[in-house]
Amino acid sequence: MATSLGIITILGLAANWIMEKLRLPGLLGMLLVGIAMGPNGLNLMSPDLMRVSADFREIALIIILLRAGLGLDWDVLKKVGKPALALSFIPGVMEGVTVMLISTVFFGFSLVQGGILGFIIAAVSPAVVVPAMLQLKDERRGEDKNIPTLVLAGASLDDIVAITIFTSFLGLYGGMDINLAGQLLQIPISIFTGIGVGYLVGLVFVRIFETHHIRDTKKVLMILGAAILLMGFEDLIRDTIPFSGFLGVMTIGFVILLKRGIVAKRLSVKFNKIWILAEILLFVLVGAQVDLGVTVGAGGLGILIISAGLVLRSLGVYIALLGTGMNSKEKLFCAVAYTPKATVQAAIGGAVPLAYGVQGGDLILSMAVLSIVLTAPLGAVGIRYMKRYLSILTQ
C-alpha cells in the first residue's frame, strides 16, 4: 500500500502541474490518474489501498470542511442565510424530481426506483465546490455580493437534503413503513443537531487553546482527530437521531474562527498545507472508483437524463437567487458552480442500491459514474472560466 501511495502522490502532483499549465483545473489530472491506475483501468493500485479508499476520501473531505469553517464570516453568513437555504433545497429537489420522472419513461423505473436514482444524482460535490470557493475567497472574487460564502453554505446543506430524500426512497423500496413528512422533518433536525454538537466541540477547543499553550501543528491534529470522531459519531447514531457530521465538522472550524480569530487564521494556513496531499488522495481515489466501461450501460439516454436534470437544477438556482441583487452573469456562475458531482455518487451510487437489492442497481451505478465523468470535469472547468464574471473586491 505504501508503494501505491507513493506512486499516486508523484503522479497526482505531475498531473496537477500539467493541467495547470494547460489552464485546466488540476483535479482533472488527478481523476485521470485514478481512472488509469484503478481496478477498472491498469489495476496498479494496491488492493489494501482500495479497501481503505473510503476512509481516506472521508478524511480528505473532513479537511475540506474544516477549511470551509475556518474561512466563513458570521456577518456574511447572516446576509446570505435565506438564499443559502433556498440554494440548499430548490435546485437539488428540482433536479432529483426531473431525473426521477424521466427515468420512469426511458428506463421503465418505478417512481421509487426513479427517486433512488434521482437523489443520488442530485447531490452536489463538496469535494469540487468547496476548494474552488475557498480559492475565490482568497482572490476576493465575488466577495462584494458574498457569492463564494453563499455557494459554500448552500452546497454543504444540499447534500443533507439529497441524502435524506434518497434514504426515504430506499426505505420505500425495501417495504419499510416510511412517513414522508417525518423523513423530511429529519432534514432540519440533522442540521440543528450537527451545528449544535459542532458548536460544543468548537467551544471545548476554544477553551483549551485559551488555557494551554499548544503548538499550531498539534492543534491541527487535535481538531482533525475530533472531526474524524464526529463523523464516526454520525455513523453510530444514524438510525436513531438525525445528525449531520458534515455540518458539525464545519461548525468546529467556524466556532474557532468566531472566538479565536487570530488562531483560526494560523490554523487555516496549516490546513491549506495538509490539503495539498489530501486533495491528491481524494481525487485520485475518486477516479479509481470510476469504471468507464460501466458508463456505456447508461449510454446516450443517460447523458440526456443527466443533462435534463442539470437544466432544471440551473433553473432552480435562478429561482433561489431571486431578490439577491446578482446580475445574470453572477447567477450563471452560481448555476455552473452547482453542477459538479463526485463525492456522494462515488460513495453510494452503486454500493448502496446494489446492497439493498434494488432492481436496476447496475444501471443506477452506471448513471452515478456517468454523472461524475460528465459533471466533475465540466463543473471544475466552468468555475475556472466563469469566475472572470465575478468582480474583485479591492477594499
Say what the pLDDT of residue 323 is.
Answer: 87
pLDDT digit string (tens) for 256-306?
999 988 899 999 899 989 988 888 888 888 788 777 776 676 778 999 999
DSSP state of 202: H
User: What number is the average pLDDT over the span 10-32?
Assistant: 86
Q: Which of the four CATH numbers 1.10.10.10, 1.10.150.120, 3.10.350.10, 1.20.1530.20 does domain 2-389 have?
A: 1.20.1530.20
Taking CA 30 as the corner, what is the angle to CA 28 and CA 31, rounded to the nearest 5 degrees? Answer: 65
Distance between CA atoms of residues 130 and 151, nearest Å = 8
First to last CA, the chain: 49
Q: Is the pLDDT of residue 67 over 60?
A: yes
Residue 395 has pLDDT above 70, yes or no: no
Cβ neighbors of 33 (< 8 A, separation 6 or more) are 8, 11, 12, 15, 284, 287
DSSP-based three-state secondary structure for 183: helix
Of residues 98 and 182, more confidently modeled: 98
The whole-number pLDDT of residue 294 equals 66
Q: What is the pLDDT of residue 180?
A: 58
Q: Which residue has the cell 498531473?
A: 15
Please determine, for residue 96, whether its predicted confidence score (pLDDT) is greater than 90: yes
Q: What is the dihedral of CA 151, 384, 12, 5, to 10 degrees?
A: 0
| Burial (0-12, 13-18, 19+ Cβ within 10 Å), 329 | exposed
In 3D space, the residue among 183, 186, 153 whose CA is nearest the CA of residue 82 turns out to be: 153
For the chain, which residues make up each domain, given as ranges? 2-389
List Cβ neighbours of 299 (8 Å cut-off, separation of 6 or more): none
pTM of the full structure? 0.79
Q: How sure is the predictor about 166, in pLDDT bands with cuts at 50, 70 and 90?
A: confident
Mean per-residue pLDDT, 372-386: 88
Please report the pLDDT score of residue 176 as a whole number. Answer: 55
pLDDT given for residue 178 in this prediction: 57
**What is the average per-residue pLDDT within 3-19?**
91
Where does the pLDDT of residue 105 fall: very low under 50, low under 70, confident under 90, or very high at 90 and above?
very high
Question: Which of 205, 224, 200, 280 is CA-nearest to residue 65?
Answer: 224
Hey, how many other C-beta atoms are within 10 angstroms of the C-beta on 29?
25
Query: What are the pLDDT digits (tens) for 167-214?
Result: 778 777 765 555 656 666 777 888 888 889 999 999 999 999 999 999
